[in-house]
Structure 1
């Protein structure tokens, strides 16, 4: 049985549970149970605080865990990074009161900085030869300058709305973070086999993200021109139609270039363009 440590609440919890569901690993949520077994897969979920996950994986309490890169780097636990999951993205930044005329990192010399990430901040300051007074605080870091507890803060930033609400502005991005899948270095061979299947499913889900399956009818005389503008994974599928002068073309498009390419297809006389989302994609 493979055990995965997951944050017990918050955005990382929601994104992780959504990924497991899309990988067809069915977990019945329970507010009272910290350890829940999947209904249809040899995996159990251990719900923990986010800052406890690196240690639980490093010590073998859990085989794998989903944790923010910021927490993993801060805790400095001895575990492997198995995969970058691409969700729950944020950044660790330095922020100061918005009225201050900021001229550069030297401003922080001798200043008191409140943070829940002292190890990351200390390394950054040392690397840049800045002598700041690091004040460790848990929770509500952003209010520190407003109540006179610190001159600045070092904290997680997503949209930046919390900073604005507290009359702060972001001045330096120190670390960009996303969800990581980490693993115990001494994982059993049996659980490594289960993990391989989990990774296979995760990759199938991630490969389908931001992709669209596109079908269209086109004059046979324009097929090669249409193929030339399609950046599909491989050669598109060409299907003959009842009318010998027409055929159906099927391909996969990246959503980022979708409208650009659709416009070109219309210029090349493609008709009846049908677009559907992709749930999974096996490469």
Structure 2
């Protein structure tokens, strides 16, 4: 049995549960229970505060964990990052009042900075030879300049709306973060085998994100040009049709370029274009 530590609430909890569900790892949604076993996979979920997850994995209380990379770096515990999961993205940034004229990181010399991430902040300040006072605070960091507690802040930024509502401007992005899967350094062979099975499922889910399976009828006279504009994983599948002048082309497209490519295919004579979402993709 493999034990995974996950955040007990919040956006990271929701994203983690969605990922496990997509990987067909069924977990009870009853968060009143600290430890819940999957009904169809050899894994049990331990619900914790996000800042407790790195230590729990490091100490072996949990075998693996899903946590924000920012929390993992801040806690500086002995564990391995196994995989970047691509969700719960944010950044750790320095911000100051909008009325201030910011010309560079030297602005922070002699200033007081409020933060919940003193380890990451100190490393950044040391690297830039900045002598600033770090004021550690938990929760509502963004109000610190407004009440005279600090000159600036160092905190998580997602959309930036919280900064705007507190009349702050983001001036330095120190670190970009996303959810990561971490593992204890001393997993035995049985647990590593379960982890490998879990990773196989997770990667299949992640590979399918923002991908579309596309089928179309294409005139053979323009087949080479059509194939040239298809950025599929490999060569597209070509299937003959009853009409010798036409064939069916099957491929996978990235959603980011989907409409651009579909427009070009239409201009080359492609017809009957059928688009299907992809749930899993095994590479």
Normalising by the smaller structure, the TM-score range is over 0.9
Asked if the contact 2:8–2:31 (Cα under 8 Å) also holds between the matched residues in 1, the reply is: no
- Which whole-Å CA distance do the structure 2 matches of 1:218 and 1:112 have between them? 65
How far did residue 220 of structure 1 move? 2.2
User: Which runs of no fewer than 5 residues in structure 1 stay unpaired?
Assistant: none
- Which whole-Å CA distance do the structure 2 matches of 1:68 and 1:112 have between them? 26
How far did residue 242 of structure 1 move? 2.0
Asked if the contact 2:12–2:179 (Cα under 8 Å) also holds between the matched residues in 1, the reply is: yes
- Which whole-Å CA distance do the structure 2 matches of 1:172 and 1:204 have between them? 36
Within 5 Å, give how 1:76-87 maps onto structure 2: 76-87=76-87
How far did residue 80 of structure 1 move? 0.5
Residue 34 (structure 2) aligns with: 34
Residue 197 (structure 1) aligns with: 197
How far did residue 264 of structure 1 move? 1.2
Residue 6 (structure 2) aligns with: 6
Within 5 Å, give how 1:79-118 maps onto structure 2: 79-118=79-118
How far did residue 49 of structure 1 move? 0.4
TM-score of the superposition, structure 1-length normalised?
Answer: 0.98
How far did residue 215 of structure 1 move? 0.5
* Count of residues paired in the alignment: 283
- Which whole-Å CA distance do the structure 2 matches of 1:68 and 1:125 have between them? 22
- Which whole-Å CA distance do the structure 2 matches of 1:225 and 1:134 have between them? 60
Q: Does 1:212 align with 2:212?
A: yes
Residue 138 (structure 1) aligns with: 138
TM-score of the superposition, structure 2-length normalised?
Answer: 0.98
How far did residue 247 of structure 1 move? 1.4
How far did residue 227 of structure 1 move? 1.1
Q: Does 1:58 align with 2:58?
A: yes
- Which whole-Å CA distance do the structure 2 matches of 1:186 and 1:106 have between them? 43
- Which whole-Å CA distance do the structure 1 matches of 2:102 and 2:43 have between them? 50
- Which whole-Å CA distance do the structure 1 matches of 2:266 and 2:111 have between them? 60
Secondary structure of 1:29's aligned partner = coil
Asked if the contact 2:114–2:137 (Cα under 8 Å) also holds between the matched residues in 1, the reply is: yes
- Which whole-Å CA distance do the structure 2 matches of 1:229 and 1:110 have between them? 56
Asked if the contact 2:118–2:134 (Cα under 8 Å) also holds between the matched residues in 1, the reply is: yes
217-226 vs 200-209, greater mean Cα deviation? 217-226
After the TM superposition, which parts of structure 1 deviate over 3 Å for at least 4 consecutive aligned residues? none
How far did residue 76 of structure 1 move? 0.4
